Structure 1
Amino acid sequence: MGSVIFDPLLPMPVLWAAAGLAVLFVAFAVWRGLSGWWLRGLAAAALLAAVANPSLQQEDREPLTDIVILVVDESASQRIADREAQVADAVAAIESEIAGLENTELRVVRFGDAEDDQGTLLMTALSEAMAEEPRARLAGAMLLTDGRLHDVERAPNLPAPLHVLLTGREDDWDRRLVVENAPAFAIIDEEVTLSLRLEDQGAVPAGEGGTAPLRIAVDGGEPQEFQVPVGETLELPLTLTHGGANVIQFVTPEAEGELTDRNNAAVVQINGVRDRLRVLLVSGEPHAGERTWRNLLKSDSSVDLVHFTILRPPEKQDGVPVTELSLIAFPTRELFLDKIDEFDLIIFDRYKRRGILPSIYLDNVRQYVEDGGAVLVAAGPDFASASSLFRSPLGEILPGAPTSRVIEEGFLPQLTDLGEKHPVTAGLPEMAPPGEEEGDPGWGRWFRQVELDELAGNTVMQGVNDGPLLLLDRVGEGRVALLGSDHAWLWTRGFEGGGPQLELLRRLAHWMMKEPELDEEALVASAEGQTMTILRRTLSDEVGDVEVTGPDGTVTMVPLEEVAPGRFQAEYQGPEIGLYRLAEGDQEAVIALGPAAPKEFEQTVASGEALRPVAETTEGGVATVEDGVPDIRQVREGRPAAGRGWIGITPRQAYLTADVTVTPLVPAWLFLLIAAALTVGAWLREGRR
């Protein structure tokens, strides 16, 4: 391809100045009445043209193909019904149509689900595809999608038509379960309200709507079914019965003809917490360790403490009139008969039988434990005496029996093999500085131990001659702990370096109040994204594989690896969102992976309304592929690029310049000859006159 260019021999300002002088000289000739003025003007023009140096530029061009981008949406909503088949057929048809166009190439870009439940990032995929191609060659772009995108605000500026090819069918409809409001935390045994709704989308067939069944299951238990109205917000009252994670699953069965059941279920996880923990502390007589128990329980803002100390036992006869006493009478009947069920934990600290609590009251305490309560006995010398609590109805549930011997010598409390695994005592040595000798836990000595015979439960700490020091047991629905020493307070005072006494007593109290994180036998799972961390706590030396049942019923066996004494752990990558059931031995757990309502399934009926304004600004259009892909034509830039049964692309006529040749249009000597001839002609014409 050739074109005329000018390559001046002098700078352009000089050339313009010369042109001005030539005009002045010609004007002067006209003013003087010279008949050859026009010949003089032509001679000056010839000289100026010679200086301007007109040249013929010829380019050797290689034409470049036009590029059409096809962005294929392969997100989760494109895998429902027969949309995958529609996509495959449409891609094949577009490839065939583009192959039939001259000088045109097709770029196919596919993308799937975005991370972190961001939905369909269609415009992001289009922008990235455009960045890979020269803008001057872009003849058009097509989006093969259901139109349900979540980044329409990121639409790029296109130099060519954009067309939307919609999958799906005209009679598609779907039902969706929406959880509108669900708290992350709730108080145990108090009613909390969840808000949810069933909604229908698309071309709902006659007979659907009205009411639909809703099944509700808590912690993977047997679901309960209710008939609920469709399209109305439901207020669902719920009462949590245990602490820790409570997993509530809502399911509405798949209706005939609806697109998918992936949005017919929702899983809500609510963490159950106790409002206030009520603790009754009964101290038999004042001693150095009494304040330790009180400080521990008062320092926890979630604990309501009722504390009584027996300062004036019945046998004390000092002649002081009752009216002169400022002591509070011990409300035995009110505490141990009428309101005993209101307490989460009862602690007997160096308490012995003195006739204050009749046997019927202590028998009521025993029944309270078997019904789900908790009792902790912190034993002093009184526990080895004839008035010991063990020699009362309470002794039937205590895990250790006193031998009547009290050992008064220094000793280091040690964890037993079970104690290294039990959540109440596991890891306690790590909270103290290293001991002087290998194997020492690094804490101070105690100086009194009540010798015990183990009757039941688990011994987690031992003292003199490896005798039981701390015993834990489950009785009926409740729990019992027996601490065979009243010298734990020495750790708090920092004697010989002290020890983790507050942590030990805190764990002990919370284990007895059935806090889930301190259960010795437990199967726990936590999730981050689609990665599940499985933890198995046990007092056994080994455990089996965990059976993981996915939302679709697929069963996977996951082996566990010991990471600490009594703690086995594994990670499992969940293949899909939904509720997973875990089982190992007699331990079971449920956990939900992914969001309660995935973004991909919030809207499943195909629609081009969100993309129509973007397409129309580029002269493009929106078409469905239900009956086939529209014909693809080439149209001129600026003309409408969509019509009934067809869509258009704009040829760009881009090229690559391989070589450039510049040749003077007229030789310099010819310009000089023309200028001389014109000058001589002017002279002859004027001389003849």
Structure 2
Amino acid sequence: MTRQIIFDPMLPLWLIAALAGVALAVCVLAAVRGLPGWWLRALAVGTVALALLDPSLQTEDREPLSDILLIAVDESASQGLSDRRDQTEAALADLLEEAAGDGLDTRVTRVADGDGDEGTLMMGALGELLAEVPRDRVAGAVIISDGQVHDAAQLPELPAPLHLLRTGRDGDWDRRLIVSNAPSFAILDEEFTITLRIEDQGDVPADAGTEADIVLAIDGGQPRAYRMPVGEDIQLPVILPHGGLNVIEFSVPEAEGELTDRNNAAVIQINGVRDRLRVLLVSGEPHPGQRTWRNLLKADSAVDLVHFTILRPPGKQDGVPVTELSLIAFPTRELFSEKIDEFDLIIFDRYQRRGILPSVYLDNVRSYVEQGGALLVAAGPDFASADSIFRSPLAPILPAAPTAIVLNEGFLPTVSETGQKHPVTEGLPTGFGLDGAPWGRWFRQVQVEALPDAETVMTGVNDEPLLILDRVKAGRVALLGSDHVWLWDRGFEGGGPQAELLRRLAHWLMQEPELEEEALTAAALGQEITVTRRTLGDAPGAVTVTAPDGTESQLELTMQAPGRFVGRIIGAEQGLYRMTEGERTAVIGLGPAAPREFVETIATDTILAPAIDARQGGAIALQDGSPNLRSVREGRRAAGRGWIGWTPRNAYLTADVRILSLVPAWLFLLLAAGLATWAWLREGRS
């Protein structure tokens, strides 16, 4: 219970002061003139002024409120190193016990890793905790952490001391791998460099060494080791093995005694792109579809097209002197002997044997394909003739044999059952044709017999093979059994997806990874990993997912489309995930090359020092034991050897308020009248 005198003026204070001033002046004048009752008049004026101020006695019944101690506990990934979690829990238990002994109320928040790669957002969590309690009851704030806080500059306006109870030990040291410079894409078959650095931090032992091995692996393949000095930037040369996404993992063997090996590895993802696509197109004779091929290939500025059309076969007898011909001689030796390996794709468009290309050059084409090249044969009536290129050294690599029959009738190209699963023809856009047909008709097809191992992805007349694909050792071959694909380009009967089909076909031939028919791939969006298994066979089994910490889990796949099976998993931590299904493997990097929580792992006071000093707090190393808790007057230093302080706030809750006038109004009136009368009588006698 507390009591205090309060005033509730009946008139504005300035008016009471003005009236009292006038009355006081009159009393002073009376005193100057020697009137004996002047002092009685002054007392009467004071009594009236006091009455106008209305003095009262206020009595409050107060209930004291406990002071609040805010505690923020760091549970980020770096706190899992060494025995930091044990130190944290022991310190928290001791702190709660000390706070209870001092009558403090506690509010505890546990801070995990921020979303994405934001790190430890301790100040944000402390600000949220502060917003949930009355500020006038906050007596202090304590952070239990290794000091690696990533939002230290965003300290909230704390009305009390701030302290750090630091985990970790003085002898801690760590070795980490830093990828300081890596491109997002690179040209295939061209060397580029990645800047790496091995860095030691903390109390590094003398036997840690000044060199270490760096192991490089691309897409989980055969690792390669390089010897590198510690503490220096090194330019490491790399050549990407394939187009599309390449996942490159660098790792450094764990050194004895270091805190963790989680920052001994870095994962980067680089897209492999072709600088230029060199395509050799050989047209056996002029025909309406020739411009279709040329327009398609020239539309892409990244394609270097070498196109030859045989306008005048050597055996043609028309009587024109050779000296008057303006045609360019076919550079057979240069193209098919010296520079054949420079082409990414060779296309024979309605080509037939006319003695222009000797058998030895066609044999070079066969060897080119077997060593990893790509060959596309767009067949017309020439393929069914006696001069067909099937009757040449190319026969062993062609996916189908002609029957010498040409089917001249209208038909709708149809995607086969296998083609519905194959990436070349899967999901080709429809809606081009007229009268409800998906595509427009073609009118000529060469009848062929596909080889048993070849894949027929499109059919034509009477389900005869139309587009056949095959793998020949390291290379690939495709046979299109019609020369009427140009009808789609011209929009006949609505046309069809000619450009998309031929684009996919060319990319499959050139072994682009996204068009592999038997593949296991993974893609990441945020923390979600999507695993896709493509196959032309039966449904695959479960995928084994290996997390960065080595734990394994099974992921069941569901069919999304014919030949495409998909599964999704949420990655609980950042790093390299490995997927395995049978003999197929895939890797994907989740998060940045170096997770922020493991960039700096040595416990420190430095980051939070400015915030702690600004709040008169202190930093205590928990390796020396938990500190005691003391109350400290506001404005004084709130930390010392083995102790931290809190500031009493003396907050209370008012339960009841009673107000009683000190003197009744009638008594004021009686006193003022009595004093005025006494002054009048005294002056009258005089």
With normalisation by structure 1, the TM-score equals: 0.97
- Residue 431 of structure 1 aligns with which residue? 430
- Residue 13 of structure 2 aligns with which residue? 12
For 1:266, what is the secondary structure of its paired residue?
strand
Q: How does 1:22-41 map to 2 (within 5 A)?
A: 22-41=23-42
Bigger CA drift: 51-60 or 549-558?
549-558
Q: How does 1:611-630 map to 2 (within 5 A)?
A: 611-630=608-627
- Residue 47 of structure 2 aligns with which residue? 46
Is 1:55 paired with 2:51?
no
- Report the residue type matching 1:22 in the other structure: A
- Residue 389 of structure 1 aligns with which residue? 389
For 2:235, what is the secondary structure of its paired residue?
strand
The Cα of 1:24 is off from its aligned counterpart by 2.8
The Cα of 1:520 is off from its aligned counterpart by 1.1
- Report the residue type matching 2:649 in the other structure: R
The Cα of 1:36 is off from its aligned counterpart by 1.4
Asked if 2 retains the 8 angstrom alpha-carbon contact of 1:200 and 1:209, the reply is no
Residue deviations 1:631-676, cap 9 Å, x none? 1111111111112222111000011111111101112233233223
Residue deviations 1:283-303, cap 9 Å, x none? 000000001001101111221
Asked if 2 retains the 8 angstrom alpha-carbon contact of 1:50 and 1:671, the reply is yes
- Report the residue type matching 1:534 in the other structure: V
Q: How does 1:394-409 map to 2 (within 5 A)?
A: 394-409=394-409
The Cα of 1:552 is off from its aligned counterpart by 2.9
- Residue 229 of structure 2 aligns with which residue? 229
Q: How does 1:488-503 map to 2 (within 5 A)?
A: 488-503=485-500
Q: How does 1:499-510 map to 2 (within 5 A)?
A: 499-510=496-507
Residue deviations 1:336-393, cap 9 Å, x none? 1111111111110000000111111111111111111111111111111100111111
For 1:207, what is the secondary structure of its paired residue?
helix
Asked if 2 retains the 8 angstrom alpha-carbon contact of 1:523 and 1:588, the reply is yes
- Residue 439 of structure 2 aligns with which residue? 443
What is the CA RMSD across the aligned residues, in angstroms? 1.4
The Cα of 1:435 is off from its aligned counterpart by 6.3
Residue deviations 1:84-107, cap 9 Å, x none? 0000110011011111113x2111
CA distance in 2, matches of 1:33, 1:406: 146
Q: How does 1:630-649 map to 2 (within 5 A)?
A: 630-649=627-646
Q: Which of 450, 454, 460 is 2:450 aligned to? A: 454
The Cα of 1:558 is off from its aligned counterpart by 1.0
- Residue 339 of structure 2 aligns with which residue? 339
Q: How does 1:404-423 map to 2 (within 5 A)?
A: 404-423=404-423
The Cα of 1:434 is off from its aligned counterpart by 6.7
Identity %: 64
CA distance in 2, matches of 1:21, 1:576: 83
Asked if 2 retains the 8 angstrom alpha-carbon contact of 1:399 and 1:473, the reply is yes
CA distance in 2, matches of 1:13, 1:92: 60
Bigger CA drift: 301-310 or 679-688?
679-688
- Residue 603 of structure 2 aligns with which residue? 606
- Residue 354 of structure 1 aligns with which residue? 354
Query: 5+ unaligned residues in a row in structure 2: which ranges?
Result: none
CA distance in 2, matches of 1:150, 1:551: 23
- Residue 593 of structure 1 aligns with which residue? 590
Query: 5+ unaligned residues in a row in structure 1: which ranges?
Result: none
Is 1:148 paired with 2:148?
yes
The Cα of 1:574 is off from its aligned counterpart by 2.0
Bigger CA drift: 83-92 or 324-333?
324-333
Is 1:529 paired with 2:543?
no
Asked if 1 retains the 8 angstrom alpha-carbon contact of 2:434 and 2:440, the reply is no
- Residue 219 of structure 2 aligns with which residue? 219
Asked if 1 retains the 8 angstrom alpha-carbon contact of 2:139 and 2:161, the reply is yes
- Report the residue type matching 2:100 in the other structure: A
For 1:305, what is the secondary structure of its paired residue?
strand
Bigger CA drift: 353-362 or 548-557?
548-557
CA distance in 2, matches of 1:631, 1:585: 59
For 1:443, what is the secondary structure of its paired residue?
coil
Is 1:100 paired with 2:101?
yes
- Report the residue type matching 1:292 in the other structure: T
Asked if 1 retains the 8 angstrom alpha-carbon contact of 2:217 and 2:248, the reply is yes
CA distance in 1, matches of 2:679, 2:414: 129
For 2:175, what is the secondary structure of its paired residue?
strand
Asked if 2 retains the 8 angstrom alpha-carbon contact of 1:189 and 1:239, the reply is yes
- Report the residue type matching 2:627 in the other structure: P
For 2:119, what is the secondary structure of its paired residue?
coil
For 1:129, what is the secondary structure of its paired residue?
helix
- Quickly say closer, same or farther: Cα 1:123–1:61, change in 2 above 3 A: same
For 2:150, what is the secondary structure of its paired residue?
coil
- Report the residue type matching 1:69 in the other structure: L
Asked if 2 retains the 8 angstrom alpha-carbon contact of 1:66 and 1:139, the reply is yes
Asked if 2 retains the 8 angstrom alpha-carbon contact of 1:282 and 1:348, the reply is yes
For 2:677, what is the secondary structure of its paired residue?
helix
- Report the residue type matching 2:215 in the other structure: R
The Cα of 1:207 is off from its aligned counterpart by 1.8
Residue deviations 1:8-50, cap 9 Å, x none? 2334344233212311321231233211111111111112212
CA distance in 1, matches of 2:552, 2:435: 51
- Report the residue type matching 2:549 in the other structure: D
The Cα of 1:683 is off from its aligned counterpart by 2.9
- Quickly say closer, same or farther: Cα 1:607–1:198, change in 2 above 3 A: same
CA distance in 1, matches of 2:63, 2:150: 41
Bigger CA drift: 51-60 or 12-21?
12-21
Asked if 1 retains the 8 angstrom alpha-carbon contact of 2:544 and 2:580, the reply is yes
Asked if 1 retains the 8 angstrom alpha-carbon contact of 2:281 and 2:308, the reply is yes
- Report the residue type matching 1:185 in the other structure: F
- Report the residue type matching 1:300 in the other structure: D
Asked if 2 retains the 8 angstrom alpha-carbon contact of 1:526 and 1:532, the reply is yes
For 1:69, what is the secondary structure of its paired residue?
strand
- Residue 67 of structure 2 aligns with which residue? 66
For 2:207, what is the secondary structure of its paired residue?
coil
CA distance in 2, matches of 1:483, 1:50: 114
For 1:639, what is the secondary structure of its paired residue?
coil
Bigger CA drift: 201-210 or 603-612?
201-210
Asked if 1 retains the 8 angstrom alpha-carbon contact of 2:374 and 2:510, the reply is yes
Q: How does 1:247-266 map to 2 (within 5 A)?
A: 247-266=247-266
- Residue 569 of structure 2 aligns with which residue? 572
Q: How does 1:118-267 map to 2 (within 5 A)?
A: 118-267=118-267
- Report the residue type matching 1:385 in the other structure: S
The Cα of 1:319 is off from its aligned counterpart by 2.8
Asked if 2 retains the 8 angstrom alpha-carbon contact of 1:432 and 1:500, the reply is no
- Report the residue type matching 2:29 in the other structure: F
For 1:171, what is the secondary structure of its paired residue?
coil
The Cα of 1:524 is off from its aligned counterpart by 0.9
The Cα of 1:156 is off from its aligned counterpart by 1.0
Residue deviations 1:591-639, cap 9 Å, x none? 1122210000111101111111111111111111111122111111111
For 1:562, what is the secondary structure of its paired residue?
strand
CA distance in 2, matches of 1:71, 1:655: 25
For 1:5, what is the secondary structure of its paired residue?
strand
For 1:596, what is the secondary structure of its paired residue?
coil
For 2:425, what is the secondary structure of its paired residue?
coil
- Report the residue type matching 1:312 in the other structure: R
CA distance in 2, matches of 1:435, 1:153: 67
CA distance in 1, matches of 2:552, 2:19: 94
The Cα of 1:686 is off from its aligned counterpart by 2.4
Is 1:476 paired with 2:483?
no
For 1:116, what is the secondary structure of its paired residue?
coil
CA distance in 2, matches of 1:407, 1:415: 19
Asked if 1 retains the 8 angstrom alpha-carbon contact of 2:430 and 2:439, the reply is no
For 1:141, what is the secondary structure of its paired residue?
strand
For 2:623, what is the secondary structure of its paired residue?
coil
Asked if 1 retains the 8 angstrom alpha-carbon contact of 2:433 and 2:494, the reply is no
- Residue 85 of structure 2 aligns with which residue? 84
- Residue 276 of structure 1 aligns with which residue? 276
